[in-house]
Amino acid sequence: MLLPERVSELDLGFDIRHLIDMANRAIGTTQNDAYTAVQVVHHLTAVLSDAARRSFTMRQLRDDGGQALVSIPIMNFPTHLRVVCSHVRKGGSERHPWVTLELLRPLGAVAVSSIGEPRRSAVDRELNAVVSDARRTMPQGDGLYGMERTAAEAWARLELARVGTRASSRCPERLGTDGVVTTSSAPDHEAAAPTRRSTSR
């Protein structure tokens, strides 16, 4: 059955969009509420960490005979991650750099939860983007030093996840969305794009 509007139960992006809007309003010039924005980032961390283990494949609605009637494309995980990070990063970089900094810890958590190198590469790209923005907007001092240290910890968690995957590569099993073990090493056909660590100061 096709519904007249988006609903949370069937559309992860719908809920993510609501949370992003809450964060952007909180760090806007009218409210200037960085604390609320940070809490929203923590909620988004829980959502993305869970989503990093799930499959995002095209949904098909079929008739009683099994004939596909409608195909519904699903936004893949790297796209969800990019939407979250880009919106919060752009909204916070100018007025609340430390809100942007809060994205680093969640990215480390998402890296550990992510299944497959394409998703970990997506985390690597967002880490580079957050660090690049922070270096450009944060003044020299303890704040910038803390950012570099937090970023290093997030990258360490990412590399640890990669090492763990390589160690178990002889049996590349993973849990599917319903808890069934599958052998797909690149979920949802998400192509891994090459990433390069941000080194500019």
| pLDDT tens, position by position, 127-148 | 999 888 888 877 787 778 888 8
Nearest 5°: CA angle at 122, between 94 and 156?
A: 85
pTM over 0.85: no
pLDDT category at 15 given cuts 50, 70, 90 is confident
Q: Establish how many alpha carbons lie within 13 A of residue 6's alpha carbon, considering only the half-sphere containing its beta carbon.
A: 11
Task: Report pLDDT digits (tens) over 97-130.
Answer: 777 778 888 898 999 988 889 899 999 999 999 8
60 forms beta bridges with: 71
Query: Is pLDDT above 60 for 1?
Result: no
Residue 56: the pLDDT is 74
Contact in structure between 112 and 161 (CB atoms under 8 Å): yes
Residue 181: the pLDDT is 36
Residue 34: the pLDDT is 84
Lowest mean pLDDT among 24-28, 89-93, 167-171: 167-171
More confident residue, 59 or 3: 59
Reported for 8-14, long-range contacts at CB under 8 A and 24+ positions apart, including other chains, are 12/47, 12/51, 12/75, 12/80, 13/75, 13/80, 13/83
Residue 200: the pLDDT is 52
Distance CA 185, CA 142 (A): 41
CB count in 10 Å sphere of residue 47: 17
Query: Is pLDDT above 60 for 169?
Result: no
Residue 124: the pLDDT is 94
The amino acid at residue 57 is T
Residue with tokens 């998400």: 190
Query: Is pLDDT above 90 for 71?
Result: no
More confident residue, 190 or 6: 6
Distance CA 99, CA 135 (A): 14
